[in-house]
Amino acid sequence: MTKRHTVISRRDVVAGGLSGVAAMAMPGPLRHGALASEAGKLRIGSLKFGSLGWLLKTVIDEGLDKAEGFELVPVDMANTGAAKIGLLSGDADVIVSDWPWAMRQRSEGETVRFAPYSSALGAVMVAGDSPIKSLADLEGKQFGVAGTALDKSWLLLRAYHQKQTGKDLADVVSPIFAAAPLITEQVRQGRVDAALNFWTFSARLKGDGFRELVSLDDVLTGLGITPTPSLVGFIWSEKKTAGKEAEIAKFMSAIAKGNELLATSDEAWGRLKETTRAKSDAEFEALKAYYRSGIPKGWNAEHTGAAEKLFNLLVQLGEKTLDDGKVKFDPALFYGS
């Protein structure tokens, strides 16, 4: 049986001054204690239509949390900014976000930890019949980017393009920055020639007959970042979840079992088809394949080393949330390494 969701929306929160929150995040935290978490329960902040919801639904519907001896309570978040604020304010025990953001929080005194959620990354997508066959062919084209000119994926793609062609991608294309859904529609309608987008939107495009020109996994490998470290993972504050160490461990076990089921069972995916909002069987199959390819196989010292190399590269590329090197890499961020 699906449990009741708690919902945090823009109207539930007020503008706050919490550090490290994305500029687009207008909402602030709920009053502390409004969603006080009971013993034996763990509140997981999740975007209503994000891929994390597929995994949480599987865990709940299969009773994997109860089998581990805790109750998983999804908390619907309006956007990624609200999720970050919810974590920092204590209104969610665990959220999913990127570890460079978590590293910044740790450097500012937040005792956050990170465990990989997915290694699936975005990609540059072009129409199936596009004449664009390589990065060099992008020159002079309209190029859509999900996000802003400061996003990590765009910075990394520019570095990779520079290495491959000797040119800065920003100088040879006409970049258009917008939210992922808008960029997806722009490339579908042929208003941009290629688009760098998140993996879920890339999968949906692939289901519509588009193809990958280059994946972010290829980009990281080409930049010498191996093995590819998961950029996105579960983040929680040890201070705010003090006394819930057992629940955190049980949650990780339930998540691993949920992912094992999604990695092997088409029947389990069948129960998620409506939740994915796939518009066709091809789109659904692409979403399933992308998700499965991103299921993490753990985190070890090699991944931490690769993450440090990526961290240093992002600082070098001017990733603003890292304060031009003021944020220090701390391997203790990574849970279980």
Q: pLDDT tens for residues 194-218?
A: 999 999 999 999 999 999 999 999 9
Give a yes or no: residue 1 inside a domain.
no
Distance CA(328)–CA(318), nearest Å, equals: 14
| Structural domain count, the chain | 2
What pLDDT digit, counting tens, does each position of 116-154 carry?
A: 999 999 999 999 999 999 999 999 999 999 999 989 999
The verdict on 298 and 284 lying in the same domain is yes
55, 38: one domain: yes
Contacts of 126 (CB under 8 A, 6+ apart): 132, 187, 193, 194, 195, 210, 211, 213
Q: Is the pLDDT of residue 10 over 80?
A: no
- The mean predicted confidence, pLDDT, of the chain is 88
How far is Cα 152 from Cα 220, in angstroms, rounded to an integer?
11
Based on the fold, state whether residues 218 and 261 are members of the same structural domain.
no
Entry pTM? 0.86
* pLDDT band of 11, cuts 50, 70, 90: very low
Domain finish residue from 202, 222, 242: 222
Asked if pLDDT for residue 20 goes beyond 60, the answer is no
Q: Are residues 149 and 79 in the same domain?
A: no
- Tokens representing 293 are 């390819």
Predicted confidence at residue 6, as pLDDT, reads: 36
> Any idea what the Cα angle at residue 81 is, between residues 78 and 82, rounded to 5°?
45
According to the model, what pLDDT value does residue 49 have? 82
Alpha carbons 126 and 130: distance in angstroms, whole number? 6
User: Is residue 68 over pLDDT 70?
Assistant: yes
* Residue 205 sits in the same domain as residue 279: no
Please report, rounded to a whole number, the percentage of residues in the chain having pLDDT higher than 70: 88
Whether pLDDT at 34 is above 80: no
Do 234 and 322 share a domain, yes or no?
yes
- Which pair of tokens denotes residue 297? 């196989």
- Give the tens place of pLDDT for each residue, 216-229: 999 999 999 999 99
Highest mean pLDDT among 76-90, 126-140, 313-327: 126-140
Establish if 112 belongs to a structural domain. yes
Q: Is 19 a domain residue? A: yes
Q: What crossing angle do the helices spanning 51-61 and 245-264 adopt, rounded to 10°?
A: 100
Q: Do 105 and 137 reside in the same domain of the chain? A: no
Residue 324 confidence (pLDDT): 63
CB 216 within 8 A of CB 290: no
Domain assignment present for residue 183? The answer is yes
Q: Is the pLDDT of residue 31 over 70?
A: no
Point out which residues pair with 234 in neighbouring strands.
96, 115
Same domain, 191 and 322: no
> Is 283 within the bounds of a domain?
yes
Helix (H, G, I), strand (E, B) or coil at 149: coil
Task: Tell me which residue range forms the domain holding 253.
Answer: 6-119+230-333
Q: 190, 222, 254: which is the final residue of a domain?
A: 222
Distance separating alpha carbons of residues 315 and 264, to the nearest angstrom: 38
- Asked whether the beta carbons of 16 and 85 are under 8 A apart, the reply is yes
Residue 2 has pLDDT above 50, yes or no: no
- Is pLDDT above 60 for 26? no
| CATH code for position 187 | 3.40.190.10
Burial degree of 170 (CB within 10 A; 0-12, 13-18, 19+): middle
Residue 35 pLDDT > 90: no
The domain boundary, picked from 199, 222, 245, lies at 222
- Mean pLDDT for 230-254 is 96
39 pLDDT band, cuts 50/70/90, is confident
The answer to whether position 272 is within a domain reads yes
* 88 touches 29 (CB < 8 A): yes
Same domain for 79 and 22: yes
Which pLDDT band, with edges at 50, 70 and 90, does 322 fall under? confident
| pLDDT value of position 21 | 28
Contact 72, 42 (CB under 8 A): yes
Which one has a higher pLDDT value, 275 or 321? 275
Q: Quote the CA–CA distance of 241 and 236 in Å, as a whole number.
A: 7
Looking at the domain assignment, is residue 12 inside a domain?
yes
Predicted confidence at residue 15, as pLDDT, reads 31
The more confidently predicted of residues 328 and 24 is 328
Q: CA torsion sign, 171 to 172 to 175 to 181?
A: negative
The reply to whether omega before 227 is within 30° of 0 (cis) is: yes
- Residue 87's H or E segment, with its range, is helix 80-89
Statement to judge: residues 157 and 114 lie in one domain: no
Check whether residue 109 and residue 166 sit in a common domain.
no
Question: What is the pLDDT, as a whole number, of residue 14?
Answer: 30
Q: What is the pLDDT of residues 245-294, one digit of tens each?
A: 999 999 999 999 999 999 999 999 999 999 999 999 999 999 999 999 99
| Residue 84 maps to a domain | yes
* Sequence-separated contacts (24+) of 135-139 with Cβ below 8 Å: 135/160, 135/161, 135/164, 135/165, 135/169, 135/213, 135/214, 136/164, 136/165, 138/169, 138/172, 138/173, 138/193, 138/194, 139/167, 139/172, 139/173
Q: Are residues 99 and 239 in the same domain?
A: yes
